[in-house]
């Protein structure tokens, strides 16, 4: 079993928290998504941080196109591995 991860990049903490709650319901994930604050290079201001929602997809059943559309609902995107 491989350890595939998808990373959704979202503009702020509120969007990331909402997306993390919704992603489990929409895609029926076995594991809770992980929230990670990603400060932009050289920026100390919390306002200049992106938030990442990291999804573990060990069964490789998540469709990247569906995740792209899902992230776009919060003005975000999916990072290509």
- Write out the residue range of the structural domain in which residue 53 sits: 5-79
Per-residue model confidence (pLDDT) at position 42: 59
In the chain, the number of structural domains is 1
What is the reported pLDDT for 18?
96
Which band of pLDDT confidence, cut at 50, 70 and 90, is reported for residue 45? Answer: low
Position 40 scores a pLDDT of 65
Can you give the pLDDT at residue 26? 94
* pTM of the predicted protein model: 0.85
Question: For residues 38 and 61, what is the distance between their CA atoms, to the nearest angstrom?
Answer: 26
CB 70 within 8 A of CB 7: no
The CATH number of the domain where 63 resides is what? 3.30.70.3450
Task: Report the phi/psi class of residue 75: left, alpha or beta, with left for phi > 0 and alpha for psi in -120 to 50.
Answer: left
Which position has the higher pLDDT, 58 or 52? 52
pLDDT band at 39 (very low <50, low <70, confident <90, very high): confident
């Amino acid at each position: 079993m491989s350890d595939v991860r998808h990373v959704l990049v979202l503009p702020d903490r509120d969007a990331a928290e909402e997306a993390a709650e919704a992603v489990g319901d929409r895609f029926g994930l076995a594991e809770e998504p992980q929230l990670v604050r990603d400060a932009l290079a050289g920026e100390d201001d919390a306002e200049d941080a992106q938030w990442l929602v990291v999804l573990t997809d060990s069964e490789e059943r998540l469709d990247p196109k569906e995740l792209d559309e899902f992230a776009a609902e919060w003005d975000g995107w999916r990072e290509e591995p």
